[in-house]
Structure 1
């Protein structure tokens, strides 16, 4: 399998997950480019034979050591970055999901250099990856629905 994340010949498919626990959502500061240092959802590239939900949960386990169960697909997010010459350096289509926390305390690592459980108010003060604010707003709406008796 070739790694075509940089200067891809076509968009790369990925999945991410907003894990909900007690009305909070798990965010991780990216430990690697692109968007290194920005807060995002755990996630990564879809492997052949995986569903989008399976990818989101696998990446969650690998990146931060948390187990969850998918509630729903939220929306796609496109990340397109050009280099200084105007060539497409990254083009990733990310299927963002919401999930209910099941077990595990999140751990930092090479792909997640900081981890936070955040409230909806917290997101205004954090440096976030492009397009994440709308995804988080939808995830918090789902979190409120989850907490209803």
Structure 2
């Protein structure tokens, strides 16, 4: 986040910078806090807070940012097969359920 930047603007800016996608931000899906103590692999350890929102694509073709090998649109089933972390699978499933609920409103 940039100083005094609202979380919603940060989410949209990061999405645009990391993938080239323009989107409309939807509701909050989940907040994850990940803490790893110092270890041989990571001497300082780390503490991340990940804030996941549902977003509706508006424009742009996905392009991988500097921290990804590739970026593309896939089906939910394909995404679940690609993702190995349980928390990421959880975000995908919650997002998909929320999208279905929003379409019936």
Query: Does 2:57 match 1:57?
Result: no
Q: Flag the structure with higher helix content.
A: 2
TM-score (norm 2): 0.81
Greater relative contact order (CA < 8 Å, ≥ 6 in sequence):
1
Task: Give the counterpart of 1:141 among 97, 101, 104.
Answer: 97
Conserved 8 A contact 1:75-1:95: yes
TM-score (norm 1): 0.60
Q: Flag the structure with higher strand content.
A: 1
Distance 1:117 1:111 in 2: 17
Where do 4+ consecutive residues of structure 1 move more than 3 Å?
Answer: 85-88, 127-130, 145-149
Unpaired segments ≥5 residues, structure 2: none
Query: Does 2:58 match 1:102?
Result: yes
